[in-house]
Amino acid sequence: MSARTVRTWAWLHKWSSLVCTVFMLLLCLTGLPLIFHHEIGHLTGTEVEAPEMAAGTPHVSVDRILDVAKSRFPDRVVQFASPDEDNPDIWFITLTPTPEPTDDFRSVAVDARTGEVLASPRFDEGFMWILFKLHVDLFAGLAGKLFLGFMGLLLLVAIVSGVVLYSPFMRRLAFGEVRRDRSTRVKWLDLHNLLGVVTLAWAFVVGATGMINTWADLLIKYWQHDQLTHLLEPYKGQPLVPAAQRASVQKSYEAALAHVPGTKLSFVAFPGTAYSSPHHTAFFLKGDTPLTSKLPRPVLVDARTAQVSAAPELPWYLTALLVSQPLHFGDYAGLPMKILWALLDLATLVVLGSGLYLWLRRRAPQPLLKEAGVALEGAP
């Protein structure tokens, strides 16, 4: 590799890393406890628990569950409803002032067997909520998400350029060698390179999936415009279906399950919300395999008649989004994968910190590559 080529890659690596490092440190620090948010919730007692009852106890109707939840907040509308992922006997209902997307929401946990309210947990406050908002959008909404997405892109550039720069080292050093007899700066450089290679695939996957996740709002809006427009032609000019004129949600739920047999409910989006239309109740149904359980398929049911209008296949870009969301937090293989994700997160923190240290301890008269003993073709 010529000296000029190395300098070009080094420039890319330096500036892409420097611009994103502080934000990547923030994301790694906030992401670490978020990996274990369920486990932390159990330890702190914030997770909702249902009373013990005989296995197979039948559930009350979905309409009853919704009515009970709405009685807690009668001035709000039901936006979403979903059974708990770990315990389907508990349903969580999200209520907001209007159907439009908002951070002003209230949640109600209902026992689906008795129809009784278990709790009204606040998911929009507390330490974990602060960490979540910092990790997702820096408390800046869509602009914050897109900004963090750009930082994720710079991380990918830094990773690729770092791999290219590592190849000259491989000609002079054994893989993973840390030269303890050299200066502190060179030892940190070797450690930076070693951990960078070890975490390479993970950092690339997490960086890429994180970047995709920041596009979620835009991808959903595009899906609504691209896929749902033609489905809504028969409803053109009609207003949002009033709650009093809607069919039984239980009947709509049964129609959706019958339309896609062998699935179970992931969540329900009610008319006028971000994941539905003004005229449909959208049931997102999932399979029972590790992959299909992360790929809910929408079934649009006419809110007035409880008849299935359509069950469109998810386009590739939404499939990529839905696959990337759990992969980003290692939520595919239970606790062992979460522990692995946490260890790699910690190693990435060292990579980021050591890179920042190497830049702060830079010495202008003697480039680090030359100091580390890397021979460059064409170099004097």
232 vs 279: CA distance, rounded Å: 8
pLDDT digits (tens), the chain, 380 positions: 677 787 888 889 889 988 999 999 999 999 999 999 888 887 877 788 888 998 889 999 999 999 999 999 999 999 999 999 889 999 999 999 998 888 889 999 999 999 999 999 888 888 999 999 999 999 999 999 999 999 999 999 998 888 887 766 666 666 666 676 677 777 777 777 777 777 888 899 999 999 999 999 899 888 888 877 788 888 888 888 888 899 999 999 999 999 999 999 999 999 998 888 899 999 999 988 877 788 889 999 999 999 999 998 888 888 888 888 888 887 776 788 889 899 999 988 888 888 888 787 765 434 545 544 444 443 33
Answer whether residue 372 is part of any domain. Answer: no
Domain total in the chain: 1
- What pLDDT is recorded for position 65? 97
The helix or strand, by DSSP H or E, that contains position 300, with its residue range, turns out to be strand 297-302
Answer whether residue 8 is part of any domain. Answer: no
96 vs 269: CA distance, rounded Å: 13
Domain that holds residue 98: 47-120
Report field, pTM of the whole predicted structure over 0.75: yes
Answer whether residue 97 is part of any domain. Answer: yes
Answer whether residue 181 is part of any domain. Answer: no
230 vs 221: CA distance, rounded Å: 15
Answer whether residue 69 is part of any domain. Answer: yes
Q: Give the CA distances from residue 123 to residues 79, 126, 134, 347, 374, in Å, rounded to whole numbers and listed in that order.
A: 15, 8, 14, 30, 52
Taking the CA atoms of 39, 40, 41 and 44 in sequence, report the sign of the dihedral they define: positive
- What pLDDT is recorded for position 170? 61
Please, are residues 48 and 122 in contact by the beta-carbon 8 Å criterion? no
- What pLDDT is recorded for position 380? 34
Residues 304-315 as b/e (b if ≥16 CB within 10 A, e otherwise) read: eebebbbeeebe
- What pLDDT is recorded for position 366? 44
Answer whether residue 56 is part of any domain. Answer: yes
Where helices occur in the chain by DSSP H, the ranges are 3-35, 37-44, 62-72, 127-136, 141-170, 184-198, 200-213, 216-223, 249-259, 316-328, 334-360, 368-371
Answer whether residue 12 is part of any domain. Answer: no
Q: What is the DSSP letter of 183?
A: -
- What pLDDT is recorded for position 162? 82
21 vs 162: CA distance, rounded Å: 14
Report which residue type is found at 40.
Answer: I
- What pLDDT is recorded for position 1? 62
- What pLDDT is recorded for position 279? 93
Answer whether residue 52 is part of any domain. Answer: yes
- SS3 for 325? helix
